[in-house]
């Protein structure tokens, strides 16, 4: 017969004590006092045996807790004919352990849910046949069928046009995500749409979900330092109890008074309050896509005062994007991007992919290149629209006898800070330069500001990247210090030096970050898109690809530790008062047992408040559909293109076709931008203000709306004057207004997106 789980045994023990108490009470009502005493003793003694077994195990492990007081109280109550008190003490002990089992079950719900959702069987496609296999039999290159409601069994790539996955258990994001053909799929997501085919790239044991399960098991098995600290307090508590009980007996000559002290000094579930609070914090973090490897890591996280960030893949996405274009005026920016994207389609380089993505985002449909050939590490060449094109690095063009910097020195200087340059040559001469940069993650500024609000005193950047690129990130995020050109060994030395000055966390994602993560007091790994080495080395793993979850993890840890200490203080403080009252003779053993039961339950229930977010963690809330936040966000892409048009119009203000082009832009401003702003002020901003708090949080954005509207009207008025008077007289003022409006619009969009980032 399979033995009952430990939690089930706790509930069975509680049921036994309750049955004995009720039976004894009925016997007493029927006038059978001796039988009642026997029934109450029978109810209490199995609890004494249970406690004794646990005490022996604790002593073997070098620990002693308040279980010793509980055991002494039960045995003394039976010996002194206080069987009812013994039964109530037994109820207190059994009830506290049952409550702990329920609390742990609730607190670890998010972690156990990950285990329960682990797939065991899957469908493999072999030619025309579909066979059911164990997940353990999946091998790379297997073609798998994932049906509706099934869990993705292994990492792989999507073979069909689209798939919809619910990854909430992995990332904490509530909405299903849509993936397109050849997208990378992570094991553990649930198919929330139609059946789809995928090609496995890993076996199940090496996939994302298996790694998450290993992290979960480590988190559940670890013992918290705070619990050990509670055990040390318990040792002093046991000594104080013995002295107080012995003193009460000696001064009064009544052993029952000593028993009363022992009874109220029996907070067995009290010392469990600390781990319950920490486990609650671990569970709540898991629901937000943050895996904390045990209570020890959670407690260390709560003490962090210095945070060090890696750059690439942590504060930046780690993927190049198009930041700026400098093109021959005869070709134009869009024309240059069209040619570059056409040629880039023949390359697998990340810069090429970024150029194609930028062209698609602007509504440009690049043609297919002819005779295209890629030179590894250099660039790509081919023919587009009967022109011979070369796209690549400066050295690539130099090798063909073309000087890239001729006429493009300014862009080259900007690129030193912004990133790198992809040069485009057409028919043997430079036609355009594309400045590529790895911009900040959208959530990075918010992550830094929130860390400051949490009291983190020092935030620095530690990267192996060049100093110019690192300093640009440091300035944008207002970091305290930037350490560039750092090797893995340099990072370890730097982390150790910072940790010697203050508790330090390191946040990173790459293989080269793993040693630094392990050296820090707390290593926080970007596990969603990072490497397995970083995830294994980190004490905390962020399963959602958002760096601001690092700040959220610290907020959860601080609240959990604070609640744990409060629960210990409440229980031990109230128990101390009750012990003094018992020693002075104000409490009988039975009354003391009932009172202590209430104290213990109160301490455990307070520990469970760690399951709820604290005030410092509440960052906004869901908006009603009528607020239209998703529609406004979707319109921002078009508004950014409109800002690009403003800049292009300002640069081409002296062209022959400037007037009709400018009239078209004014019409777009009135038809697209101004209605967008009015819709925000009418529906979105009032709802956002109610959730962000403060006296008038949206006032700066509304003020910027008013200034943008004024600039639009100024632009329209200047255009009317320019068409009626000499164009060249009005052109300088038109150019200034266009550039001013472009800068204001870009700034407004960026600020608005950051302010509303936590609302949805």
Q: Any idea which residues carry the catalytic annotation? A: 310
Q: Strand, helix or coil at 607?
A: helix
Residues in a beta bridge with 435: 324, 421
Give just the sign of the alpha carbon dihedral 357, 362, 368, 373. Answer: negative
**Cα–Cα distances in angstroms (integers) from residue 301 to residues 124, 231, 296, 556, in the given order:** 43, 21, 9, 9
Q: Which of 322, 358, 327 is nearest to 342 (CA)?
A: 358
- Residue 319's contacts (CB-CB under 8 Å, 6 or more residues apart) are 350, 354, 438
| Strands annotated E in 253-410 | 290-292, 306-309, 321-327, 370-375, 379-384, 387-392
Reduced to 3 states, what is the DSSP secondary structure of residue 483?
A: strand
CB crowding 710-737: b at 16 or more within 10 Å, else e: ebbeebbebbeebeeeebeebbeebbeb
Please tell me the distance from the alpha carbon of residue 285 to that of residue 305, in angstroms, as a whole number.
20
Annotate 526-543 with DSSP letters as a single string.
ETTTS-HHHHHH-SEEE-
Q: Are 257 and 309 in contact (CB under 8 A)?
A: no
> Which residues does 747 contact at the CB level (< 8 Å), separation at least 6?
704
Distance CA 41, CA 23 (A): 11
Contacts of 147 (CB under 8 A, 6+ apart): 123, 191, 195
Label residue 222 left, alpha or beta by phi (over 0 means left) and psi (-120 to 50 means alpha): beta
Tokens in use for 429? 């001469």
Q: How far apart are CA 511 and CA 62, in angstroms?
A: 39
Q: Give the DSSP per-residue string, 127-166.
A: TTEEEEEEGGG--TT-EEEE-TTPBP-S-EEE-SSEEEEE
Residues in contact with 532: Cβ distance below 8 Å, sequence separation at least 6, in sequence order: 211
DSSP for 231-283 reads HHHHHHHHHHHHHHHHHHHHHH--HHHHHHHHHHT--TTTTTHHHHHHHHHHH
Residues 198, 185: Cα–Cα separation, whole Å: 8
């Amino acid at each position: 017969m399979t033995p009952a789980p430990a939690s089930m045994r706790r509930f069975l023990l509680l049921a036994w004590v309750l049955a004995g108490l009720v039976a004894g009470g009925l016997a007493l009502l029927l006038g059978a006092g001796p039988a009642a005493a026997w029934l109450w003793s029978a109810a209490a003694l199995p609890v004494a045996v249970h406690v004794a077994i646990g005490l022996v195990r604790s002593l073997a492990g070098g620990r002693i807790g308040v279980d010793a007081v509980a055991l002494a109280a039960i045995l003394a109550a039976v010996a002194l004919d206080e069987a009812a008190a013994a039964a109530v003490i037994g109820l207190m002990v059994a009830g506290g352990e049952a409550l702990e089992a329920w609390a742990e079950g609730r607190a670890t719900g998010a972690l156990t849910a990950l285990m329960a959702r682990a797939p065991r069987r899957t469908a493999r496609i072999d030619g025309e046949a579909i066979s059911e296999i164990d997940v353990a039999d999946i091998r790379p290159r297997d073609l798998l069928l994932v049906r509706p409601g099934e869990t993705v069994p292994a990492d792989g790539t999507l073979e069909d046009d689209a798939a919809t996955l619910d990854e909430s258990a992995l990332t904490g994001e509530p909405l299903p995500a849509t993936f397109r053909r050849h997208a990378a799929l992570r094991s553990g997501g649930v198919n929330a749409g139609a059946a789809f085919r995928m090609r496995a790239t890993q076996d199940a044991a090496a996939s994302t979900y298996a790694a998450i399960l290993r992290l979960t098991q480590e988190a559940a098995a670890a013992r918290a330092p705070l619990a050990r600290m509670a055990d040390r307090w318990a040792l002093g508590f046991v000594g104080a109890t013995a002295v107080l009980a012995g003193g009460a007996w000696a001064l009064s000559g009544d052993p029952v008074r000593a028993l009363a002290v022992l009874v109220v000094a029996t907070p067995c579930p009290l010392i469990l309050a600390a781990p319950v609070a920490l486990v609650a914090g671990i569970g709540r973090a898991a629901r937000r896509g943050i895996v904390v490897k045990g209570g020890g890591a959670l407690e260390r996280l709560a003490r962090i005062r210095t945070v060090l960030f890696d750059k690439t893949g942590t504060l930046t996405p780690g993927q190049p994007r198009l930041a700026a274009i400098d093109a021959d005026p005869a070709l134009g920016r869009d024309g240059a991007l069209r040619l570059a994207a056409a040629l880039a389609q023949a390359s697998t380089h990340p810069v090429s992919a970024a150029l194609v993505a930028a062209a698609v985002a602007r509504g440009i449909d690049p043609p297919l290149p002819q005779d295209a050939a890629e030179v590894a590490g250099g660039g790509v060449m081919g023919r587009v629209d009967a022109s011979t094109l070369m796209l690549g690095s400066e050295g690539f063009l130099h090798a063909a006898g073309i000087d890239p910097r001729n006429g493009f020195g300014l862009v080259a200087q900007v690129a030193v800070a912004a990133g790198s340059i992809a040069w485009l040559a057409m028919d043997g001469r430079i036609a355009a330069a594309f400045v590529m940069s790895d911009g900040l993650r959208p959530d990075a500024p918010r992550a830094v500001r929130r860390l400051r609000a949490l009291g983190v005193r020092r935030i620095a950047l530690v990267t192996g990247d060049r100093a110019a690129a690192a300093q640009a990130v440091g300035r944008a995020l207002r970091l305290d210090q930037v350490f560039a050109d750092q090797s893995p060994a340099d990072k370890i030395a730097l982390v150790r030096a910072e940790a010697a000055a203050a508790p330090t966390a390191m946040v990173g994602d790459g293989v080269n970050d793993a040693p630094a993560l392990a050296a820090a007091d707390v290593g926080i790994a970007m596990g969603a898109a990072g490497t397995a080495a970083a995830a294994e080395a980190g004490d905390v793993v962020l399963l959602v690809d958002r760096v601001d979850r690092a700040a959220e993890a610290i907020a959860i840890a601080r609240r959990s530790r604070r609640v744990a200490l409060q629960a210990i203080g409440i229980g031990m403080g109230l128990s101390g008062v009750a012990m003094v009252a018992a020693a002075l003779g104000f409490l009988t053993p039975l009354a003391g047992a009932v009172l202590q039961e209430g104290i213990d339950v109160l301490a455990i229930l307070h520990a469970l408040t760690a399951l709820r977010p604290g005030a410092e963690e509440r960052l906004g809330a869901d908006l009603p559909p009528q607020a239209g936040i998703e529609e406004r966000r979707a319109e921002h892409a078009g508004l950014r293109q409109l800002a690009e048009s403003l800049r292009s119009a300002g640069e081409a203000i002296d062209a022959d076709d400037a007037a009709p082009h400018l009239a078209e832009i004014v019409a777009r401003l009135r038809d697209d931008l101004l209605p967008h702003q009015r819709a925000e002020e009418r529906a979105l901003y009032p709802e956002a203000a109610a959730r962000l708090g403060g006296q008038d949080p949206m006032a700066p954005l509304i003020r910027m709306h008013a200034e943008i509207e004024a600039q639009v009207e100024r632009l329209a008025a200047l255009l009317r004057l320019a068409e009626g008077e000499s164009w060249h007289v009005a052109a300088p003022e038109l150019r200034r207004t266009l550039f001013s409006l472009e800068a204001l619009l870009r700034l407004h969009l960026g600020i608005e997106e950051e302010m509303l980032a936590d609302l949805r």
